[in-house]
Amino acid sequence: MNGSLIFGGLGGGAEDTNFCIAKAFEGALKSIIEADDGLCTENFLTLVAEAAHKSGVLDRLLEVQKLDDVDIEGAIHAYYDITRQQCMVCTELNEDQTKIYAPLHSASLDESLRIVKDYLIAATVKDCSLMICFRPSKKGDSGSLSNNVYLESTKQTFDFKVGSALHF
């Protein structure tokens, strides 16, 4: 079943899930998650949360997002310095405001390149989708303990993989 039909696609969210879609999703999960009627979706959400937490993917994404230490308001000044153009932002500021950005304009070329690069990387990672794939673990398959989640309510273990997709 296509998860974007249930939880939204690239538009940033889904409309309210209607009863027919919710029932179809629950039915599709029933073949994988051994839970009572109406509890498969709840258990699936638990799996997603546990896999995201255990994989550390959200922490890694946050670390990359934190590369941007000056935001666009600072990165634009470094950009103008790299391109050796007059800073159009500073031409519209008063003298006190211009002093705030003076350290950015006095940075070395390498530092200005780092500022712009880090800003662009962080901004790109802020628009990212995660894909989490699950499969029930086979009985007796010890596999990698770091890439599986035990669902206490159903006494099932699921292997998972987490990936991300950046949107350009």
Q: Domain of residue 105: give its range.
A: 65-125
Same-domain status, 100 and 89: yes
Nearest C-alpha neighbor of 41 from the set 26, 58, 56:
26
Domain count, the chain: 2
Same-domain status, 56 and 102: no
Q: pLDDT confidence of 116, banded at 50, 70, 90?
A: very high
How high is the pLDDT of residue 168?
Answer: 44
Same-domain status, 31 and 69: no
Instruction: Using DSSP bridges, classify how beta strands 156-166 and 148-151 pair: parallel, antiparallel or unpaired.
Output: antiparallel
- Per-residue pLDDT tens digits for 94-107: 999 889 999 999 99
First to last CA, the chain: 26
Mean residue pLDDT across the chain = 85
**Residue 136 or 138, more confident:** 136
